[in-house]
Structure 1
């Protein structure tokens, strides 16, 4: 690899393990100063956690538990190891889950992912991730500016205005969901607008199948994907090798059997855990609810860190739709608001390279008014638009699922 982001990306795996697990005891010691982490981790000796096997003995913290924990002990359930004033911004992601922004010029560890996607100093970036309450916009914004890239803070939507901005400022790079990039390019082609300045992209927050990647390439845009979480930032990213996602240097990743903290053999599909080595905001064995698997060996691009296959489904019923998490608790709130609708089931599919959300509702007396009310509640509780379909009472599967993710994997 002729142009790594830094020397960390090409060091030997043994050197990396020694460095990361040499730092981990200090990170754990800092975590134990926070009452939430102290109660969660229990009587652990940080000095003894110096290997993957030792790390695997610590309890798992499930992301799906955070809304309840934070509600019971606001604002962060005691999981901050520094005063709130030490953090830059505070976000409220769907769930709700409240997250603080860390310190430094690249607090979400996004710069190396952008670099791997070909972003370089001076590239003007159109950032279409949301800047409103959720951290998505700031994750990529801070990483791009750390690389020396001017950022247009466009946010999502407002397609016509965005095309005006593209024609005027001629950004060469895009960050956002792959679906919205396709929408922008399609609208530009339909309206005879010039969006040809965009030649590179880093996408996240939605499925990015090879068919969509090839479609964008045919439109002149070379797009790579990043795997990010609002809790810590970009934890893995695609490289020009196009063989899995390389783990970021700032995190320790594990693949475990869903519902446990037990590591699986290399290549076996399991749930992804992330441990952050940021001493200001330690996160220890956070279970993200996503399924993945480790790819054997280093990347052909020359980066030597662990590679994962990317997103392979959910270990629980939570689904990411159009860049936002859809949770069973949200569907339960809709059901409580509309008891006349009977059982509900949110179904996620793909059509025309975009996520499609359908709320299926059992009802003996379906009506346009009830359909409109359900659609409004769906948007209010999830921040997502979706269509409503009615089904006869007792016709939805009796399998305990309230969210069915029927999108193809891969």
Structure 2
């Protein structure tokens, strides 16, 4: 593939890193001075010193659940909780809601959520008609895709969700070049059209998001005539990563700085290890600094075969918030992290909860190459102190725990 959305995609990786780190202090300062909530979160942080990944990693992670609570606490004064850096009016044309609800601004400007890059990689081009089956109601998904399609010079049919037969009719009449929406709804549309004997020959490509897109579903859609690619985006951050024709993970967007951290902590993990996706956006209107998405992923080695040089991630691999209720009490991944942080000899850990309902048993599996005498007992004491629950401790060799991002595994029987 020789076409690219812009020259940013093929920058030398060292140049990209310099550009990101040069923009980082300005974005931290913007968050501190224009978004009152981040003024509190980043109080006493010298913005000019946040010019490396190491310095960024010392800042607190603000997770989505925390953003909700912080926004609720400030709603009497500001419905957006002090996180938006723009005021109502021309610079904030719309406001949307995410589950919670979290209220989020749409800033002004071309391709505000940066979705155009993902659409281009999926094969969409100027002058084409895009059938948009994301919701236009309350949540921003429909607007996100429409915004990006318009930036490419495409025309959009605002299909929205549901009304399967009417959408198929519109596809047959208008002959769109491609689809955007969830992959499961695309499958419903294509299968229903085939069942009714309605041909949709113009529809050959799709950009899907909003849910998992396993290879089995991708291949099924291809068998129905549509080549689908996926993107990873959120209402808070816009585009985070997108699939290319290489189909080897997702390439990171050029407008975000992404870290993978150990669930329940703010500590980056080595490349290749599964952890929580934490994003710092360079969007000045909604300047989220170290925003914890709650999603799991991992960095892939090398660069994309299409010639795009940005880092790649594996894609969505589950949820990082593995909070579990044990014997009537919540146990959080951050508590597991707090236990092992007390012991320099301890490596990665996983808390396994077993037993039938009402007979919960906790076992803390801890990696340790050369455990000193009594380490297991001390870990058990720390577990009881921090979680207020008893746990057995099992010391295992370094590298023996699965690299799947799980910190708490609920293995109970719910029969």
Q: Same fold (TM over 0.5)?
A: yes
Is the 2:296–2:319 contact (alpha carbons within 8 Å) kept by the matching residues of 1? Answer: yes
Alpha-carbon distance change, 192 to 9 in structure 1, aligned in 2, over 3 angstroms:
same
Structure 1 segment 14-163 matched on structure 2, within 5 A: 14-33=14-33, 34-74=35-75, 75-85=79-89, 86-163=91-168
1: distance between equivalents of 2:201 and 2:135?
Answer: 23
Per-residue deviation, 1:195: 2.2
Deviation digits for residues 168-188 of structure 1, max 9, x if unmatched?
Answer: 100010000000000000100
Aligned length: 332
Task: Determine if the alignment matches structure 1 residue 236 to structure 2 residue 241.
Answer: yes
- Structure 2: how far apart are the matches of 1:279 and 1:30? 7
Match of 2:265 in 1: 260
Q: 1:87 to 1:398 in 2, by over 3 A?
A: farther
Map residues 221-232 of structure 1 onto 2, 5 A cutoff.
221-232=226-237
**Aligned counterpart, 1:331:** none
Report the equivalent of 1:212: 217
Distance 1:405-1:279 versus aligned 2 partners, 3 A rule: farther
Q: Corresponding residue for 1:346?
A: none
Match of 2:207 among 202, 205, 209: 202
| Residue of 293, 296, 303 corresponding to 1:298 | 303
Gaps spanning 5+ residues in structure 2: where? 329-355, 363-408
1:84 is displaced (CA, Å) by 2.8
Q: 1:256 to 1:161 in 2, by over 3 A?
A: same
1:387 is aligned to none
Match of 1:251 among 235, 246, 256: 256
Q: Deviations over 1:334-379 (max 9, x none)?
A: xxxxxxxxx9xxxxxxxxxxxxxxxxxxxxxxxxxxxxxxxxxxxx
Where does residue 182 of structure 2 map in the other structure?
177
RMSD: 2.2
Give structure 1 regions of 4+ aligned residues with deviation exceeding 6 angstroms. Answer: none
Deviation at 1:76, TM superposition (A): 1.8
Instruction: Give the match for residue 310 of structure 1.
Output: 315
Return closer, same or farther for 1:215/1:399 CA change in 2, 3 Å cut-off: farther
Aligned to 1:353: none
Please give the alpha-carbon distance, in whole angstroms, between the structure 2 residues aligned to 1:183 and 1:54.
47
TM-score, normalised with respect to structure 2 = 0.77
Aligned counterpart, 2:340: none
Question: 1:298 touches 1:307 (CA, 8 Å); kept in 2?
Answer: yes
Secondary structure, aligned partner of 1:84? coil
- Give the match's secondary structure for 1:100: strand
What is the CA–CA distance in structure 2 between the aligned matches of 1:35 and 1:190, rounded to whole Å?
55
Q: Give the TM-score of the pair, scaled to structure 1.
A: 0.78
d(CA) in 1 for partners of 2:111, 2:209:
18
State the match for 2:9 in structure 1: 9
Contact 1:26/1:279, CA 8 A, preserved across alignment: no
Secondary structure of 2:290's aligned partner: strand
* Contact kept in structure 1, 2:25 and 2:47, CA below 8 Å: yes
CA contact (8 A) 2:206 2:227 kept: yes
Q: Which has the larger radius of gyration?
A: 2
Q: Which piece of structure 1 moves more, 252-261 or 277-286? A: 277-286
